[in-house]
């Protein structure tokens, strides 16, 4: 259910998102998940992707498709954190069709925070960690 996700954002599909089968291509789902995560990190946690001392690298991703969606549908994305580690975080995303609340897809990304230069894991910095804890599921 959308209410299971503390952060939510709506995104209209675009004409170019449809593939030859008449629905939104699977690569678009991944792009939307990545965008929702990074939009949250920038707008809610103050992440500065161009000059932060640490960056988040995706080490795992998954998407399970539940229903079709196509242009001109609007997709509602819900974001939560399933696991918050020392240097890693598992983001969980639910995607719903706005017109009827149908579950379109569920996915996750695992990010490891690393030093920008050395690419070695580093602890998730404050205030990012504090903000992330607000999205963590019990």
Q: What is the pLDDT of residues 93-127, one digit of tens each?
A: 999 999 999 999 999 999 999 999 999 999 999 99
- The model carries a pTM of 0.93
pLDDT digits (tens, 9 = 90+) for 20-36: 999 999 999 999 999 99
Residue 125 DSSP symbol: P
Q: Give CA–CA dist 39/47, Å, rounded.
A: 9
- The pLDDT score that the predictor gives to residue 1 is 85
pLDDT digits (tens, 9 = 90+) for 42-65: 999 999 999 999 999 999 999 999
Please give the mean pLDDT across all residues of the chain. 95
């Amino acid at each position: 259910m959308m209410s299971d996700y503390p952060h939510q954002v709506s995104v209209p599909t675009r004409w170019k998102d449809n593939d030859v089968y008449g629905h939104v291509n699977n690569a678009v789902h991944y792009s939307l998940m990545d965008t929702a995560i990074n939009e949250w990190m920038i707008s809610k946690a103050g992440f500065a992707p161009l000059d932060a001392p640490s960056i988040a690298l995706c080490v795992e991703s998954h998407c399970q498709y539940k229903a079709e969606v196509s242009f001109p549908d609007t997709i509602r994305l819900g974001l939560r954190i399933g696991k918050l580690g020392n240097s890693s975080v598992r983001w969980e995303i639910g995607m719903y069709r706005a017109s009827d609340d149908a579950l379109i897809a569920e996915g996750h990304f695992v990010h490891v925070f690393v030093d920008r230069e050395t690419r070695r894991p580093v602890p998730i910095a404050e205030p990012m960690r504090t903000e992330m804890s607000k999205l963590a599921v019990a």
